Structure 1
Amino acid sequence: MKSSILTFTASLLFSLAAANPGHGHGQPTFQQRCAHLAQTFHPDHKTQVLVAQFVPSGTNFTNPDNHPTCQSKPFTITLTDMCRLRLKVKTSHTSEVELEAWMPLDWNKKRYLVLGNGGLGGCIAYPDMGFTTWLGFATIAHNNGHLGDTAEPMLNNPGVVEDYVWRAVKTATQAGKKAVKHFYNTAIRKSYYMGCSSGGRQGLKAAQDFPEEFDGIVAGAPANDINNLWSISGHYYKLNGNPGDARYLSAAQWVAMRNEILRQCDGLDGVTDGVIEEPRTCKPRFEALMCGAGQTWASHQCLTATQVDTVRRLYEPYYGTDGKLLYPEFDPGAEVNSDVWGGEPPGAAEWWKYAIFNDPNWDFHTQFSLQMAMDMKNLDPYGISTWKPLAKLKQKGRKLLTYHGLQDGVINSGNSYRYYEYVSRTMGLTSTELDSFYRYFPIPGQSHCHSGAGNWYVGATSQVGRVLGAKNIPTEGGVLMSMVKWVEEGIAPETITGRNMNSQTGVQSSIKEHCKWPKKNKYLGGNPNLKESWGCTNP
């Protein structure tokens, strides 16, 4: 009995010391406090500590989420000494969220960052965690309520759907804050969010519904109005068809069409560089690639009239049976960055099968149609459309920065323009008035979230973790650190610095300042690879 009391007392004293590292003599080290989080961190009955470990800089950290869709980059080289904490949090009797908190040894700025998810959202962004932890952020990322970039766990489980739509990001944010405050035994100074694609939609969801969680939100290529986004991807697939169909274009033929579009539109901005600076001004004549009498693709690399009609319809806005816009048109120049010709769109098909119809045998080929798209547009489970004004964000005094690549073949960039103007109209605010809390930056030559022919690297999620030698690239002027400067110094970004670089070598070939909408990038003359050769012009 006496031994048990002594053991309990020793454990209690260690727990108190771990929770209060600045008090007493011989307090536990960073490593010891990290290793004992399983004993010291018990925020509520819903939260379970799965892993608590010290991870030194230079560790080859293997992705523990072994779903095959999460293995595109199966390991991450850690860049700083840190404490890794993995938690599981119950969100309902049928759903739960797993999250990781990477807490750096050097946390002198006391910044907190939550990262978003991509696609169907069940993969943790470990590479981005490694980089942002090196930047000094206590970084949180989560599995969005299920494992894998798939909607299968949503089948007959509305709790998982609700996690995917909004609850996972809010749950992970709040649980992560508790963990960070407990571990460092000090308050978080500023809280940030950064995500792209589905993660961009998550950022807008936070900005619309719970902006109090973040001082600054960075949302790239947001997948809001997502039902119509998935409908237009289905429309593209049905439009292009399958190999053997008369209307079908192969990957090589889409490349040829991209080259023809560049031939007609690349020089509109004064520079021939593979980038259409303002795709919305590009109105190509697709018939220029049409075969003449006796000509074929094999003989003349040309398209049939039926194939040209496929292309023409691709670049038209998608309208419903009532004549109202469902989704903006495809971005000229994004053809080879698209999955338009890549087969049945898996995200759309899985969402409809598992989250909407609860029928794994639902058949895309026979059941998707414009009428189905009309039926789907009004379905908004748990507010997944994420299409509301930013009244709460403005009221709370928080900040939102959005950006969108203009060479995006996955989410048409017109959707971000459309949302910006919707916010302006519904809130009755001019661009100058919006500037105090909401700024949008189009990024010419950027593909979907990363890569592209232009100055695509803007220090964003899905970029920093995949670029070799990213530590050697200045972070000043990128989207995340521009948001930090806006929040902490009151200096709002007028431009975002973009770099054209090889992601495998980290070699930079050019630099450009991307302008805040509604201003536009303008070539001023001189070497187009230098940022001094570009400026911003008013609309």
Structure 2
Amino acid sequence: MSVAKQRLSPSHLRRINIYQHSLMIWFRFILFLLAIKAVARSTSLPAVECSPLRVQPPSFSDVEVLSYMVFPVYDHEIDAIEVNPIKHRRVSVTFCNFSLTYTHPGWDDVINMQVWLPLSDWNKRLQGIGGVGWAGTRGDSATALAVSEGYVAVSSDLGHDATKPSARDWALDETSRHVNLARLLDFSYVGLLDMSRLAKDVAQQLYGEVPKHSYWNGCGAGGRQGMMLAQRFPEAFDGIVVGSPTLSWAHFMPTGYWPTFVMKMLNTYPSSCVMDAIAAEAVKACDDRDGVVEGIITQPERCDFNPLSLVGKNADCGDGVNVEITLDVAILVEKIWQGMRSQDGKPLWYGFSRGSLWHATRCSSMGEVHHHTCTPAPSTLVLDWLELFVAQNPDLELPHLKLTYPEFEALFHLSIAAYQSIISADSPDLADFKSRGGKIIHWHGLNDGEVPPGGSAAYYVTVKNRDPSVMDFYRYFEAPGVGHCGSGPGAAPIGVMGALTIWVETGIAPDILPAVSEDGSLTRILCPFPSVVTYLEGDAEKPEAFGCRESPLWR
């Protein structure tokens, strides 16, 4: 060891080690980008014939075809949606549209599925498109984007009208008013396997070969679908992108009513401007913990901001309207951040991160905001789940009831008892998926105001405890300051599908993910959990000023 190095303090040595580690990460990332370009090159196929003479409905014993269509579509322009994270851009695609309506004999169900196959320049890959909320698919826009990138793309309504935001038309059997189990199973997992096997069959008919690799791309509910595929059907897809997922659906869904329940207990309904003001104060208090002031909390779980410190202060709601932050509002915010608790104080599920933007009231005017006449506005997804699936009572109208604590807890436990084994995708057993060579990239925004990110971190820790070598096939990334599926001031990951493709097809695992904010003003890197993004030195406006450091919270 040199004399110069001997004179360095331990803190300087740590900085050098972190800096060297950061350089190694960025060097691997450059190689990773070069590999993406290499893998992206595919052999162009000659134009293929798209007609019912070339492509027939697949023949499976458990699928009965009701109708189908095969026809070419040329130069179709559409505003496409990137799924992870959600972005919009205009594309023009030419493809063979295979549309299939089918049923599972004896189930009295009807499923509509679409497979869009490029008429030229197929990249030999299949991409399954995940849904959102109750919808089995994000629609033609997400499918078109995949086709524009050379994929065969498959989407499905999973057995119900995907254009409607509510499950009221299909959740209950019209005669018995009991849960329509066939349609719930289609939505939960059965229709997902159908997407993979039917699309592969159709691709083989059109091109004369099956896709060399298949990928799933889903965020939110689509993220749950992806993890469900890895757990139940490990042979369906080789690589899976899981964004902001509702993994523990049976736990998470009833706790989505927790903010409304607490508001009704406290008889206080703050407007969004009041909640935003409190979130902003939390960010201000904890922003500089990572050494950079940028309007983002890097590790919300280390933020100790107490909303009670704001009691008596005013929130500026614009137009000269100032609303006082009361004790009840501060208590409400703290309970939302804590997450649902039992009557005896036992944590039942994770809360939203401190500083996250959360809105669940409706106010018709600023004047009403000032006079505290806002009303609760729980999500349709949550209300449908509790009223239709758990209580099986479409006339319940929860927002108009004042549930007792025991009644609400009973709904929570009933949800888990009745539906955990059907719809939740939180089994830590991924051994079969791993043994097939499958790979998963899972990410979650820490500012998510719809799905608490604590559920994602807890699931990954559970998998890691079961398999210490989890990073060989499954990596989880947290995105500070990012909302549900990519919104918010933080930097959301970009090129996730490309990173997954490289990992599956070349074995190069992503040590980092590049990330950009929604407005393009912030560029960062994301680190694989349990590492966190750490400012090293230099220009904080540039991503190379940051590296990855293991968080002491998860050692």
TM class by shorter-chain length?
0.7 to 0.9
**How much has 1:42 moved relative to structure 2?**
4.9
The question of 1:150 aligning with 2:166 is answered: yes
Asked whether the 8 Å contact 2:390–2:411 carries over to 1, the reply is: no
Alignment counterpart, residue 46 of structure 1, candidates 48, 64, 67:
64
**How much has 1:424 moved relative to structure 2?**
2.0
Distance 2:67 2:269 in 1: 52
Asked whether the 8 Å contact 1:37–1:52 carries over to 2, the reply is: no
Moved more, 43-52 or 296-305: 296-305
1:182-214 Cα distance to aligned partner (Å, 9 max, x none): 111112100111111111111111111111111
Q: Which residue of 1 aligns with 2:141?
A: 127
Distance 1:103 1:524 in 2: 46
- TM-score normalized by the length of structure 2: 0.78
Q: Which residue of 2 aligns with 1:284?
A: 305
Count how many residue pairs are aligned between Structure 1 and Structure 2: 468
Asked whether the 8 Å contact 1:112–1:137 carries over to 2, the reply is: yes
Which 5+ residue runs of structure 1 have no aligned equivalent? 1-27, 64-72, 460-477, 503-507
**What is the aligned-residue RMSD (CA, Å)?**
2.8
Asked whether the 8 Å contact 2:58–2:202 carries over to 1, the reply is: no
Asked whether the 8 Å contact 1:237–1:344 carries over to 2, the reply is: yes
Alignment counterpart, residue 287 of structure 2, candidates 249, 266, 275:
266
**How much has 1:485 moved relative to structure 2?**
0.2
> What are the residue-to-residue correspondences of 1:344-363 with 2, within 5 Å?
344-363=378-397
Alignment counterpart, residue 92 of structure 2, candidates 79, 82, 87:
79
Alignment counterpart, residue 521 of structure 2, candidates 509, 522, 537:
509
**How much has 1:296 moved relative to structure 2?**
11
Distance 1:166 1:35 in 2: 30
Which 5+ residue runs of structure 2 have no aligned equivalent? 1-45, 174-179, 363-375
Distance 1:61 1:420 in 2: 34
Moved more, 405-414 or 180-189: 180-189
Q: State the AA in 1 paired with 2:281.
A: E
Asked whether the 8 Å contact 1:82–1:104 carries over to 2, the reply is: yes
Alignment counterpart, residue 534 of structure 1, candidates 546, 550, 555:
546
Q: State the AA in 1 paired with 2:158.
A: N
Distance 1:444 1:204 in 2: 22
Alignment counterpart, residue 423 of structure 2, candidates 384, 406, 417:
384
Q: Which residue of 2 aligns with 1:111?
A: 125
The question of 1:332 aligning with 2:344 is answered: no
Q: Which residue of 2 aligns with 1:255?
A: 276
**How much has 1:494 moved relative to structure 2?**
0.9
Alignment counterpart, residue 193 of structure 2, candidates 157, 164, 170:
170
Distance 1:538 1:381, change over 3 A: closer
Asked whether the 8 Å contact 2:65–2:101 carries over to 1, the reply is: yes
Moved more, 390-399 or 39-48: 39-48
Distance 2:536 2:316 in 1: 42
Q: Which residue of 2 aligns with 1:16?
A: none
Asked whether the 8 Å contact 2:128–2:196 carries over to 1, the reply is: yes
Distance 1:84 1:323 in 2: 54
Distance 1:419 1:436 in 2: 17
Asked whether the 8 Å contact 2:47–2:120 carries over to 1, the reply is: no
Q: Which residue of 1 aligns with 2:509?
A: 492
Moved more, 524-533 or 277-286: 524-533
Higher relative contact order (CA 8 A, sep 6+): 2
Distance 1:296 1:480 in 2: 42
Q: Which residue of 2 aligns with 1:393?
A: 433
1:261-300 Cα distance to aligned partner (Å, 9 max, x none): 11111222222222111111112121222117x9999886
Q: Which residue of 2 aligns with 1:159?
A: 182
Q: Which residue of 2 aligns with 1:406?
A: 446
Moved more, 220-229 or 524-533: 524-533
Secondary structure of the corresponding residue to residue 484 of structure 1: helix
Distance 1:132 1:60, change over 3 A: closer
Secondary structure of the corresponding residue to residue 152 of structure 2: strand
> What are the residue-to-residue correspondences of 1:7-18 with 2, within 5 Å?
none
- TM-score normalized by the length of structure 1: 0.80
Asked whether the 8 Å contact 2:390–2:415 carries over to 1, the reply is: no
Q: Which residue of 2 aligns with 1:417?
A: 457
